[in-house]
């Protein structure tokens, strides 16, 4: 069964906009678990504009499902992950000022760097995932660098889905087949929603995990958090 990991960055964004601790990021994460989420994802950035280092440290001892920390592997990020030891770390090629992830790694160009970072995390017993576009060569070099999984960057799928869903999903199916052939697990994330998630799942039923934040939290404003999580889980059945 494909797991649903809820990215709670947007909850932290709302909290930070006003100061204080409303909404309580830790409580929301625990509620997500109670409502059926299979994991929690956070993406701390250097400016702490949403998730803070303290959030990561506070969450780790309390979560009962899988904890996934994603981010650019700067020295500070690496130190934080090695200290916290989440179940999974997802490496993304974001610059510090980047609004959101909008491209996968060039794993061939960055092979030596990724290999060194992945070795550090693998040696610490942390499952590793590398954020990639649906490109067979990039997936092959992620495997060579030592990744356990790849996370397919699905914004192009979400955009193209509205025009032609068959053409939209085709490169992702092929990429997922390459990953499976190489022995890699397959995650997916970015702009997945109640509109397009089930079709992706039906075409790649061996997906290990989807990580969803913006759409899920936005839907929760109308449907409520518990109902929303159940609706997303229903898309993975």
Give me the phi and psi of 41, to 5 degrees please.
Answer: -115, 140
How many CB atoms are closer than 10 A to CB 76?
Answer: 13
To which residue do tokens 């890699």 refer? 184
Q: What is the pLDDT of residues 41-71, one digit of tens each?
A: 999 999 999 999 999 999 999 999 999 999 9
Distance CA 180, CA 121 (A): 22
Coil, strand or helix: which one is 132? strand
The reply to whether omega before 23 is within 30° of 0 (cis) is yes
Q: What is the pLDDT of residue 101?
A: 60
CA distances from 8 to 38, 114, 216 (A): 13, 26, 9
Q: What is the pLDDT of residue 94?
A: 76
Q: What is the pLDDT of residue 103?
A: 80
Task: Provide the number of structural domains found in the chain.
Answer: 1
HSE-CB at 144 with a 13 A cutoff on CA atoms is 14
Per the CB < 8 A criterion, the answer to whether 137 and 147 are in contact is no
Summarize the confidence of residues 181-195 as an average pLDDT: 98
Q: Which domain holds residue 132?
A: 3-234
Distance CA 87, CA 67 (A): 5
Distance CA 139, CA 149 (A): 9
- For residue 122 the two structure tokens come to 């693998």
Q: What is the pLDDT of residues 99-145, one digit of tens each?
A: 566 689 999 999 999 999 999 999 999 999 999 999 999 999 999 99
Active site residue 227: no
Active site residue 66: no
Q: What is the pLDDT of residue 96?
A: 60
Query: Could you give the dihedral angle defined by the CA atoms of residues 59, 189, 175 and 105, in that order, rounded to the nearest 10 degrees?
Result: -70
Q: What is the pLDDT of residue 102?
A: 65
Cα 153 to its chain centre, rounded Å, is 9
Res 230 pLDDT > 90: yes
Q: State the catalytic residue, choosing from 33, 43, 50, 209.
A: 43
CATH no. for residue 96? 3.20.20.70
Summarize the confidence of residues 7-19 as an average pLDDT: 96
Coil, strand or helix: which one is 71? strand
Res 98 pLDDT > 90: no
Cα 81 to its chain centre, rounded Å, is 15
Q: State the catalytic residue, choosing from 33, 66, 70, 209.
A: 70
Is residue 3 within a helix (H) or strand (E), and if so which, with residue range? strand 3-7
Summarize the confidence of residues 162-178 as an average pLDDT: 98
Q: What is the pLDDT of residue 118?
A: 98
Q: State the catalytic residue, choosing from 50, 66, 151, 190.
A: 190
What is the biggest distance separating any 2 CA atoms in the chain, rounded to whole angstroms? 48
């Amino acid at each position: 069964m494909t797991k649903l990991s809820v990215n709670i960055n947007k909850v932290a964004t709302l909290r930070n906009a006003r100061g204080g601790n409303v909404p309580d990021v830790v409580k929301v994460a625990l509620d997500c678990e109670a409502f059926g989420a299979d994991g929690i994802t956070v993406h701390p950035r250097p400016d702490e504009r949403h998730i803070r280092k303290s959030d990561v440290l506070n969450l780790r001892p309390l979560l009962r499902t899988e904890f996934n920390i994603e981010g650019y592997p700067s020295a500070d990020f690496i130190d934080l992950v090695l200290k916290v030891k989440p179940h999974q770390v997802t490496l993304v090629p974001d610059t510090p000022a980047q609004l959101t992830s909008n491209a996968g790694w060039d794993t061939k160009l960055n092979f030596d760097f990724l290999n060194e970072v992945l070795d550090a995390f693998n040696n610490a017993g942390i499952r590793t995932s590398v954020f990639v576009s649906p490109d067979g060569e990039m997936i092959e070099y992620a495997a060579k660098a030592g990744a356990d999984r790849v996370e397919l960057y699905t914004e192009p799928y979400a955009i193209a889905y509205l025009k032609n869903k068959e053409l939209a999903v085709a490169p992702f199916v092929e990429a997922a087949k390459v990953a499976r052939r190489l022995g890699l697990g397959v995650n997916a994330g970015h702009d997945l929603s109640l509109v397009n998630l089930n079709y992706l799942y039906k075409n790649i039923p061996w997906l290990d995990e989807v990580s969803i934040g913006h759409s899920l939290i936005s839907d929760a404003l109308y449907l409520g958090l518990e109902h929303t999580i159940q609706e997303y889980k229903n898309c993975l059945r």
